[in-house]
Chain A
Amino acid sequence: MPLLGFIFRRVLQTIPTIAFILVVTFILVRLLPGDPASAMLGDRAIDADVQRINAKLGLDQPIPVQFLYFTKAVFTGDLGNSIGLKLPVIELIERRLPVTLMLTGMAALIALLVAVPLSFVAALNRGGAPDAIIRGTFQIGLSMPVFYVGLVLLTVFAAKLRWFPVGGYGQNFLDDLYHLFLPATTLALSLSAVLMRNLRAAIIGVVGADYVDFARAKGLRARVIMTRHVLRNALISTVTLFGLSIGTLLGGAVITETVFAIPGAGRLMIEAIYGRDYPVIQGLTIALALLVSFTFLLTDIVQAWLDPRVVR
């Protein structure tokens, strides 16, 4: 099975990526102004205390040694303790990240559910009224900033119509879905516009292909032609775009979580930055970076599965 070989090689390729992520986060945190000890102790720190804390955190060691300690700690799941919240960082991430994952996952799903059928309608009515309406609407959606769309949805559907909660997070899975619907829709809007544009163009390209005519000459049903021959080929480029957009979606989650008061990783990140909570910033950066590189891995695998020409 050539696909398995491809997956194996692709997984090996993530090793240098992860190493790079670790080096960059390590350096970034050390480049930030101010040092952790002063942040913990406040204005009235005396040198002796600073030195004591630096020794405790291993910050008096040479940089390469610090990096080894850092790497070892990351791999054992020890990301240090939050300065502000006095809790292990890994615990905070375990609590907050799933919320963000659910929000972005839901947004991605909504974007797909909206973009795929609409790009079909637009592509097959190319130049007609449905095409113009769909594209026009999404053009507007694409040009509005996420926080603004969020506020509009909040005002209309939560504050005025009271169909959805104004913010916060649910008590169980279904309640979570209910709470996350508006924020996820907010996030999904620009992504679905991007996907729509791409998929519409891809479908138009594929529909004119010889193999689609050949499929018609075989006497296949229209549904089979559309899914097996058109959609599958059109999705190849869109899948890549979709995977790459997940990173942007996580960035958008930071804003959306703030607007909708959702206790997710995005808001944790903002709080940590305001509080100069270095261990949290560092831990979250690593977690999000790993998440994004994992999404890219998954994207490449899906793409290889869709397009056998990639595997060779």
Chain B
Amino acid sequence: MTAPSPDRNTAGGGLKVRGLTTTFATPRGLATVVDGINLDVAPGEIVGLVGESGSGKSMTLRSIVRLVREPGKVSGQVEWQGRDLMAMREADLRKVRGAEIAMIFQEPMTALNPVLPVRLQIEENLSAHTTLDRRARRQRALELMNIVGIPAAERRLDEYPHQFSGGMRQRVMIAIALANSPKLLLADEPTTALDVTIQDQILKLILDLRDRFGMSVVFVTHDLGVVAATCDRMAVMYAGRIVETGTVAQVFAEPHHPYTRGLLGSVPRIGAERSMLLSIEGMPPGLIDLPDGCAFHPRCSFATDRCRAERPPLESFAAGREVACFHHQTVAAMAEAA
């Protein structure tokens, strides 16, 4: 694994997100759900997007392909293989969605249409982007069901989602996403709704597919175990912003943001001396009236007057490492001491 730098040239290959911002006008004011996100994903790379519920991970993912519902407004720049998805016409964007960039959702129970047979739900993705005829589409659907490891695929093609178990439904969803061999997979908590053994199978499947097809993956999760097991790099999100990035090994070994430190402290480790699990005090802030300065300061034990007045920018402090904290050196030093 090479240590990728955030400034690495991704032109012609991966995904380059700059200043991605998503806002919702609500009766109580403007909610900034995604706030100026920068993110790079190289070909074949798996990037984990981590944070609490409501930190804007899923919305970031949806904003990348402009799958945000009214009254949500998305702005910024999303460069995909040299083209800006934000400036694209809806008709052109449609050709990217489901073909070059595919998405899988968290809930396999609700993301599949309950009244259509699985075969049709796979094949409609092929009809939308290829010129394959009926027989070829059926053939490909069968092939996909086999790739994702659904037993008795031939028979199960004509079954409906309610006839599948949760894990099998998630496989169906992955099969749909893979139909057109996408270059980028946006995975929104694809294993959260599944039990642990099934979760492991699905993660292995995604890793295997990355290796076989050289696909990039943006993996949204709140599960740090999943990140450690699958991702190359990670970005930690808090209140709609990225607060820390780095390779998974770097961030786990030496967290520089107090929030990341808190997240890691809330995971028990095998082999380590048994100690109290840390929890982060307080609740994530509401997105309409964010605290002034650093959004994390009310919950942060390192917070100073500067944190309350001024928002720390996301800055690079080492190769491939970024953090948005004025006191990140102190935080890192404490982590080493502990």
Q: Interface on A for B, CB 8 Å cutoff? A: 208-211, 213-221, 224, 228-229, 232-233, 236, 306-309
Contact = CB atoms under 8 A, between A and B. Distances in A.
B103 A224 contact: no
A213 B105 contact: yes
Nearest to A224: B124
Contacts of A221: 94, 128
B98 A209 contact: no
Interface stretch (B112-120, B137-145, B208-216, B247-255): B112-120
Given A215-B113, A236-B115, A308 B160 contact: yes
A208 B129 CA distance: 24
Given A218-B97, A236-B115, 9 more contacts: A210-B105, A210-B110, A211-B114, A214-B111, A216-B97, A218-B102, A219-B94, A228-B116, A308-B162
A229 B129 CA distance: 18
Contact of A233 (B65, B107, B115): B115
Q: Is the interface of A mostly helix, strand, loop or mixed?
A: helix
B103 A217 contact: yes
Contacts of A208: 69
B132 interface: no
A255 B99 CA distance: 58
Nearest to B110: A210
B190 to A, nearest CB: 12
Contact of A217 (B97, B115, B124): B97
A20 to B, nearest CB: 33
A229 B114 contact: no
A131 B162 CA distance: 34
Residue of A209, A219, A306 with most chain B CB atoms under a 10 A cut-off:
A219
Nearest to A308: B160
Contacts of B162: 308-309
Contacts of B69: 208, 213
B125 interface: yes
A216 B62 CA distance: 11
Nearest to B125: A218
Given A211-B113, A306-B115, A308-B115, A219 B96 contact: yes
Interface string B77-99: 00000000000000000111111
Nearest to A207: B69
B97 A228 contact: no
B317 to A, nearest CB: 36
Given A211-B113, A215-B113, A232-B115, A220 B107 contact: no
A15 B298 CA distance: 71
Q: Nearest 10 pairs between A and B by C-beta?
A: A219-B98, A219-B97, A218-B98, A210-B110, A217-B103, A211-B113, A210-B111, A214-B111, A308-B160, A218-B125
5 contacts: A213-B105, A220-B124, A232-B115, A308-B117, A309-B160
Contact of B113 (A216, A217, A219, A233): A233
A217 B124 CA distance: 12
A219 B129 contact: yes
Contacts of B114: 211, 233, 307-309
Contacts of B95: 219
B147 interface: no
A215 B111 CA distance: 9
Contacts of B115: 232-233, 236, 306-309
Contacts of A308: 114-115, 117, 160, 162
Interface in B23-77: 62, 65, 67, 69
Nearest to B114: A309
Contacts of A306: 115
B116 A217 contact: no
A232 B120 CA distance: 14
B176 interface: yes
